[in-house]
Structure 1
Amino acid sequence: MKRLCITRKLFLLAFIVFFSPPPVSATNAELTLAIADSTCSTIKQVGKIFSRQTNIKLNYICQSSGLLVKGIIEEAILPDYFLSANKKWMNIVVEAGYVDSAAVTTNWGNQLVVTSFPSKTGDLQLQGLADLLTPSVEKVLIGDPEIAPYGAYAKQALVNADMWEKIQPKLKISPKISLSIRSLKKLSLTTPCIVAFLYKTNISDKMQIHFAVPQNLYPRINYFSAPLIRSVQKTEMALFLDFIRGDKASSIFESAGFVVNLPAQSHH
């Protein structure tokens, strides 16, 4: 009888081991994401749900697209996935052999706006780009056009509006969008008439959008993303790509104000 009980316990143990459904990720796998700073908050929201469902840890490197590319090419960072805020920087890593062009997709878009903190600027009323040249505006914050796509888009809009040279004395440059927002908030305390060029998705409830930059003055803003060829976490990456392009992630991006491009567009 005792032997029968032991045999039955061993059978039950074997059944649990061999027939229980495995977790999505049986190992302590990790993925490192190099993502454009303007998407950092939203990607982290999506990533939190993904990690909870799959047991895959996500590490985030949030910087301007240009700095991320510099880190990838110099191998100062070793990400599994790259998300660029424009096509230029994605093309560079494709041409350098770090990303397969067939794997690049465009899932989200954005819009450029001029914004300020209304409690600091008082009755500052702006209707369009030309108003930035008036005495009512003392400082204009933009991203560094050499490394930050949101700065490159702003520069292109100002060049096409024939304002780039005229607005130079008012410009203050930031390397990434989170620093632009921080500077805008801090400088608003001492410089009440200060505004910034930012993406629409980075505007908080405490900020005021004065106007959207006319779309005919700069290229349509699209984000380009792809896994890196050298990533060894192929299974985990496939799960992440399916999730990031799925309905749940798309809903989160849409709620954050991004333009969601569905179905996912592939750029060969």
Structure 2
Amino acid sequence: MKKMRLFFCFLMFITLALAGCGSQEQQQPQTKAEPVKLTISAAASLQDAAAELKDTYQKQHSEVEITYNFAASGPLQKQIEEGASVDMFISAGKKQMDALADKGLLIDESRVNLLSNELVLIAGQDSKLAGFDGLTGADVKKIGIGTPETVPAGSYAKEALTSLQLWDKLQSKLVPASDVRQVLTYVETGNTDAGLVYRSDAIAGKNIKIVAAAPADSHKPIEYPMALIKSTKHQKEIGDFAAFLQSDTAGAVFEKYGFITKK
């Protein structure tokens, strides 16, 4: 009888011990999964709108972490061609996206024309410049322009000035810039008397004004194509973000920053 009581006590001890271990295991905090890191190469003119959209998206999708690489579309194209780790490209020009498509670097079915924009002439807030014709005047000594070969805004600017028969007349005044935001900075700081930028950049500018918009037929249509890069390792996650950028919610943000959405 005494042995039986000892045996039951032993069983009770083992049961309680195991229950305690199980309780401790349940109390152990679970390791949180690392977020999926997405890298998006985007035209410099997108940075203000893109920053807000990133914050909005990450609040709803904590499982992803978005990093932007902003620059002129030409250098971004070259980086992707050279193997840079990029999940999505948003260009400010069709030419750069076409080049990547020709080399088989895009998921072709993911390509869409996300946005459009307007090319405008800007000057300092106190400038007396009244239009494109005034660029030839003595008061305008320097004009900021994106380098046409690598900056889509610069390419559109060259087309517009050529169409207006001003390109050859203004050669000595042109100051090339590495991207459209640098053109904006030139005008904001007074390093140039005028500049050609997108309307979305002008809205973000300080102490500047829009003098005139380039005639729509003076340059090719301004397009912002978006596509996923074929080498992405996160096709589902980056595809979900691409869908968000085409949503009405994202469209309202883009429009707030001066872009024209594709409806």
Shorter-chain TM range is 0.7 to 0.9
Give, in angstroms, the shift of residue 206 of structure 1: 2.8
Q: Does 1:48 align with 2:55?
A: yes
- DSSP-derived class of the 1:187 partner: coil
Q: 1:126 aligns with which of 130, 134, 141?
A: 130
Q: 2:103 aligns with which of 87, 96, 104?
A: 96
Give, in angstroms, the shift of residue 205 of structure 1: 5.1
- DSSP-derived class of the 2:130 partner: coil
Q: 2:43 aligns with which of 32, 36, 46?
A: 36
Unaligned runs of 5+ in 2: 1-11
Q: Does 1:116 align with 2:123?
A: yes
Task: Give matches, 1:1-268, under 5 Å.
Answer: 27-55=34-62, 56-75=64-83, 77-119=84-126, 121=127, 124-127=128-131, 129-188=132-191, 194-203=193-202, 204=205, 206-262=207-263
TM, length-normalised to structure 2: 0.85
Give, in angstroms, the shift of residue 167 of structure 1: 0.7
TM, length-normalised to structure 1: 0.83
Deviation by residue 1:77-117 (Cα, 9 ceiling, x = unmatched)? 21100001011000000011110332210121100000012
Cα RMSD, aligned residues only: 2.5
- Aligned twin of 1:265: none
Give the Cα separation in 1 of the matches to 2:223 and 2:149. Answer: 18
- Aligned twin of 1:20: none
Give the Cα separation in 1 of the matches to 2:148 and 2:186. Answer: 17
- DSSP-derived class of the 1:240 partner: helix
Deviation by residue 1:136-171 (Cα, 9 ceiling, x = unmatched)? 211111000000000000001111222211110111
2:40/2:66 contact within 8 Å kept: yes
- DSSP-derived class of the 1:137 partner: coil
Runs of 4+ in 1 over 4 A off after TM superposition: none
**Identical aligned residues as a percent:** 26
For 1:45, give the aligned amino acid: E
- DSSP-derived class of the 1:34 partner: strand
